[in-house]
Amino acid sequence: MTKLHSSLGPNPRLVRMFAVEKGLEEGKDFERVHYDIITGENRQNASYLEKNPLGTIPTLELDDGTCLTESWPICEFIEETHPEPNMFGETPAERAEVRKWARLFDQEVVVPMTMGFRAGAGRPMFAPRMPVLSEEAGAEIAAMSDEKWRWFDQALGGSNHFALGRFTFADLIVFCFANFGFTVGWKLPEGTDNLARFVDTHNQRPSAAIWQQGE
Ligand SMILES: N[C@@H](CCC(=O)N[C@@H](CS)C(=O)NCC(=O)O)C(=O)O
């Protein structure tokens, strides 16, 4: 059976939510293999490092042993192998629109937000395993990320969807990183009422229950 190598954190949860949105069931369509990323098991387990030399989670291991890494491409693989319901767009132009929002968010929010977290509250966990910014630089980059959250709030306006007027991968990635923030004591920056509404709305999705579960 296909294996999803998974853990705490926004990236595996993004893939797990995507799988639920696709109607895929754990135990039936794939098996979930858990790693303790707090202790760094993912970077010490030789057999996992063979599957993903970066040691990061998630990895999707197919029946033939092929290992797919990086959460977004894993979601695109699932989209191609399970096209319904559509999450990336029906046409080339729609897909470009969904990927535009996801790419903007990935670069402008996810990168600075995670770098800020690793340099701040996440320092005890991450400093022994990778280079992290100084605390001062971490606070600066976290503030840059918050500024971009505000930009996304304005772009969202009165809608609950970033692209295509329906729930897509673009909404999913924003939702997952907001929820990641909440799990580590972050709050939506002031003046992001549109995003607060967006999060409340998508919290009602059955797939969002993953955020209420321990690992
Ligand atoms: N770009 C990767 C990021 C993966 C990543 O950083 N995963 C986190 C969990 S959300 C992780 O493995 N953290 C533990 C570590 O880096 O040792 C992706 O999209 O999958």
Token digits for 34? 């858990």
C-alpha–C-alpha distance, residues 18 and 168, integer Å: 10
Q: Among 4, 42, 49, 57, which residue has the most ligand 1 atoms within 8 Å of its CB, making it the best to mutate?
A: 57
Residue 87 lies in a domain: no
Q: What pLDDT does 47 receive? A: 97
Residue 9 Cβ < 6 Å to ligand 1: yes
Look at residue 117 in the predicted model and tell me its pLDDT.
Answer: 98
Test site for ligand 1: of 11, 34, 114, 215, most ligand atoms within 8 A of the Cβ: 11
Residues 97 and 182 in one domain: yes
- DSSP symbols for 1-20: --EEEE-SSHHHHHHHHHHH
Question: Each residue of 83-111: pLDDT tens digit?
Answer: 999 999 999 999 999 999 999 999 999 99
* Helix (H) or strand (E) run with residue 3 in it: strand 3-6
Instruction: Show Cβ contacts of residue 117 under 8 Å, excluding neighbours closer than 6 positions.
Output: 142, 184, 186
| Mean pLDDT across 122-137 | 97
Mean pLDDT for the stretch of residues 42-49 = 96
Q: What is the DSSP letter of 84?
A: S
- Local structure of 2: helix, strand or coil: coil
Chosen domain end from 50, 81, 112: 81
CA 96 from centroid of its chain's CA atoms: 19
pLDDT > 90? residue 215? no
Last residue of a domain, one of 81, 109, 131: 81
Q: How far separated are the first and last CA of the chain, in Å rounded?
A: 20
Same domain, 51 and 107: no
pLDDT of residue 79: 98
Domain edge (last residue) among 19, 53, 81 = 81
Q: CB of 114 closer than 6 A to ligand 1?
A: no
- Dist. CA 31–CA 11, nearest whole Å: 17
For residue 137, the domain's CATH number is 1.20.1050.10
Q: What is the pTM of this model?
A: 0.97
Q: How far is the CA of 157 from the centre of ligand 1 (A)?
A: 30
Q: Which tokens sit at 30? A: 């794939």
